[in-house]
Amino acid sequence: MYKSEKIKLLLRGYFEGKLNEAEKEHLFFLIHQEDLEEAAFCEQYKVWEESQDRKRDIPSEKIFDGIKRELKITDDKLKEDDLILKGLKYNQLHSRRAIINKCLRYAAIIVIASLVSGIAYFTISKLKTGDVALHEITVPYGSRISIMLNDSSRIWVNSGSRLTYPSHFGEGKREVYLEGEAFFDIQKNPSQPFYVKTSDIDIKVLGTRFNVKSYPEEDIIETTLISGQLMLLPKQFNETDGRQTVLHSNQKAYYSKDARKLELSKQEYIKDIKPASKETSNLVKTKTIENIEYMTIETSWKDELLIFRDEPFSSLARRLERWYGVEIILNDSEVGDYKFTGTIRNETIEQAMKAFSVASSIDYTIDQSRIIITKKYTLNKSR
């Protein structure tokens, strides 16, 4: 797989001291990916250990101290961040510790440094509004995380998203700011209503489970309500002028930023969705999905599933970019109109693209993190 090979090359460069700052940062980011296997560390360490390039007079402790200085890490900070990591679903801390136990010291140094740098990447951005400290989480493409707020509300943040929230909620209303996509499971507190603020619409919550998608490059702000009740207020109106819209369980709202128009529809659950029509391509055979009664296409991402039904490849490509952390280029506009139905669970980007190609007239070329999509052309053979 191209990602594993890329990590091996970066690890070798790191061991040899040849990486620049940008390459180090990229290595730390790749280490966070859930499909990273311990063999990528151990194998490359073994290659480096046995090579003539290793500087044997430099002890591992010295390298580790250098990493800590570079990242401004203290021993107390390592312990503190270790606790924070337990709240971030994507890190799989236990598997990282298994890697540390099985690999030698140099691999352990890389893992520890990457975990701490990941905390810096996701949580160290701090702002201040008056006396309240705000945390800003930025989730890169290819990653998804889960956090717990101080009121025991839980938020899952999707790839390519930014969430800003206070370190603690005071006595007034609870507010968070979202750019991108997140799923919310909010603790009910009528005396402290919860607000999700996006670029063009505010969402008032009394205690409920719902999904909001508000990417800046997309016209539609999409709100999917699983349970409870929401109040939607486009920012051109005031909350007191009676122009808000109430969203009930199993409803879905679409707000067009360009048209400044709000529309509602009924939400379909996965169990209610009809099989794909003959005109669409089924990528994956039917799989057993837990909690299917309450899962929707819009919320499946938080359970590590990418589900699509009769979706044009033009919009699916954007979801794949965020899901895998790649860039997808459509060299033929006709390809963007192809519709697909399927489910992606643990498939790699290579496996997914192969499935798309087998099921349709799509052809593709993978060049590191860039995928170029073209249309297949068949040659007519003359007799």
E strands within 27-160? 126-129, 132-139, 145-148, 154-157
- The answer to whether residue 13 scores a pLDDT higher than 50 is yes
Cβ count near 300 (within 10 Å): 22
Please name each of the domains of the chain with its CATH number.
Answer: 2-123 (no CATH), 126-267 (2.60.120.1440), 271-375 (3.55.50.30)
pLDDT in tens, 358-378: 888 899 999 988 999 999 875
Task: Encode pLDDT of 163-191 as tens digits.
Answer: 998 878 877 889 999 999 999 999 998 88
What is residue 236's three-state secondary structure?
coil
Arithmetic mean of pLDDT over the chain: 71
Helix/strand/coil for 20 = coil
**11-47: b or e for each residue (b if 16 or more CB lie within 10 Å)?**
bbbbbeeebeeeebebbbbbbbbeebebebbebbbee
Q: Does residue 81 surpass a pLDDT of 60?
A: no
What would you report as the CA-atom Rg of the chain, rounded to the nearest whole angstrom? 23
What does the pLDDT read at residue 303?
Answer: 86
Local structure of 313: helix, strand or coil: helix
In this model, does residue 327 exceed pLDDT 70?
A: yes
Looking at residue 267, its pLDDT comes to 61
Residues 56, 58, 59, 64, CA torsion sign = negative
- Sign (positive/negative) of CA torsion 296, 299, 304, 310? positive
Residue owning tokens 């007079």? 57
The answer, yes or no, to whether residue 130 has pLDDT greater than 90, is no
Residue 298: pLDDT over 90: no
The length of the chain, given as a count of residues: 383
The pLDDT assigned to 359 comes to: 86
Mean pLDDT value across residues 199-219: 92
Q: Give the whole-angstrom CA distance, residue 135 versus residue 336.
A: 38
